[in-house]
Amino acid sequence: MTGERDLRTLLSGLRPELNPGRHVFATAPDGVMPEGVNPVVTVTEPEGLTLVLPETEAVSAGLRYDYVAGWITLRVHSALDAVGLTAAVSLALTDAGLSCNVVAGFHHDHVFVPYDRAAQAVDVLKALAAESG
């Protein structure tokens, strides 16, 4: 199934959903996935393997982190070559004073925001969707 490309349709159909739990960004120091972790995102960089995973798993694996995030899934099925979705979401969150880290999956985009302001971020994204509809 091909994802949506039209920006207005994407924004009006955002349907942001806050996933449960606290998630952190950590690095596997030797570039090897620690046993017992199930990251929701991995990124291989020259400096090491970045993991976005539940905080409890990072603690159990002895991984260091300093950013605790709420994980929001945008339920709209966006095309990977859609133009403007990330920019619009980022701008709306910026205007609310919220940082964000966006990761594209095949079916959905995922936004990681400061954990203690995640509910506010969902409200901001719902308002963006309502304004776009």
pLDDT of residue 1 exceeding 80, the answer is no
pLDDT of residue 38 exceeding 90, the answer is yes
Kindly state the average pLDDT of the residues 64-90. Answer: 96
Domains contained in the chain, number: 1
Task: Give the HSE-up count for residue 65: Cα atoms under 13 Å, Cβ half-sphere.
Answer: 24
SS3 34: coil
Kindly state the average pLDDT of the residues 105-122. Answer: 97
Domain annotation covers residue 113 = yes
pTM of the model: 0.94
pLDDT of residue 17 exceeding 90, the answer is yes
Residue 40, sorted as left (phi over 0), alpha (psi -120 to 50) or beta, turns out to be alpha
Domain range for 70 is 7-132
Domain annotation covers residue 1 = no
- What does the alpha-carbon distance between residue 98 and residue 46 come to, in Å, rounded to a whole number? 28
Query: What local confidence, expressed as pLDDT, does residue 30 receive?
Result: 83
Domain annotation covers residue 70 = yes
Domain annotation covers residue 2 = no
Domain annotation covers residue 64 = yes
SS3 92: helix
CATH value at residue 124: 3.30.2130.10
pLDDT of residue 19 exceeding 90, the answer is yes
Distances in Å between the alpha carbon of 57 and those of 52, 92, 111, 122, 128? 10, 31, 20, 25, 33
Cβ proximity of 32 and 78 under 8 Å: no
pLDDT of residue 29 exceeding 80, the answer is no
Structure tokens at 120: 């506010």
